[in-house]
Amino acid sequence: MSWLYKLVGAVLGFVLLRHPLGALLGVIVGHVFDIHRSGKRPRVIARSFVDPLFGLIGAMAKADGRVSESEIAATEQLMQRMGLSTLQRHEAINCFNAGKMPGFVVERAINDLRLWCLGRRDHAYVLIDVLLDVVFSDGNGTEPRVQLLRRLCASLGVPEREIAVLAAMKGHAWPGAEHVYTYTTSESARSAPPPPRQTGGHDPYAVLGVERGIDERGLKRAWRKLMSEHHPDKLGDVPAPLRERAEQRARDINTAYERIKAERGFR
Domains of the chain: 4-38 (no CATH), 50-157 (no CATH), 179-264 (1.10.287.110)
Higher-confidence position of 107 and 3: 107
Q: Could you give the 3-state DSSP secondary structure of residue 210?
A: strand
User: What integer pLDDT is reported at residue 236 of this predicted model?
Assistant: 59
**DSSP code, position 16:** H
CA 108 – CA 188 distance, rounded (Å):
49
Mean pLDDT computed over 44-57: 77
Binned at pLDDT 50, 70 and 90, residue 154 comes out as: very high
CA 4 – CA 19 distance, rounded (Å):
20
| Confidence check: pLDDT of 45 > 50 | no
Q: How far is CA 75 from CA 34, 68, 146, 162, 224, in A?
A: 46, 11, 16, 23, 33
Q: Could you give the 3-state DSSP secondary structure of residue 183?
A: strand
Q: How far is CA 167 from CA 114, 193, 196, in A?
A: 20, 26, 21
User: What integer pLDDT is reported at residue 242 of this predicted model?
Assistant: 67
| Confidence check: pLDDT of 153 > 60 | yes
For residue 9, give the amino acid letter.
G
| Confidence check: pLDDT of 234 > 80 | no
Binned at pLDDT 50, 70 and 90, residue 118 comes out as: confident
| Confidence check: pLDDT of 266 > 60 | yes
What does the pLDDT look like over 178-194, one tens digit per residue?
654 444 444 444 444 44
The mean predicted confidence, pLDDT, of the chain is 77
Would you tell me how many other CB atoms lie within 10 Å of the CB of residue 203?
17
User: What integer pLDDT is reported at residue 121 of this predicted model?
Assistant: 81
Would you tell me how many other CB atoms lie within 10 Å of the CB of residue 252?
22
Closest Cα to residue 54, out of 97, 85, 112, 102? Answer: 97
Binned at pLDDT 50, 70 and 90, residue 247 comes out as: confident
User: Which range has the worst mean pLDDT, 46-55, 78-87, 96-105, 135-144?
Assistant: 46-55
Binned at pLDDT 50, 70 and 90, residue 146 comes out as: very high
Does the predicted model carry a pTM greater than 0.75?
A: no
| Confidence check: pLDDT of 215 > 60 | yes
Binned at pLDDT 50, 70 and 90, residue 148 comes out as: very high
Q: Could you give the 3-state DSSP secondary structure of residue 11?
A: helix
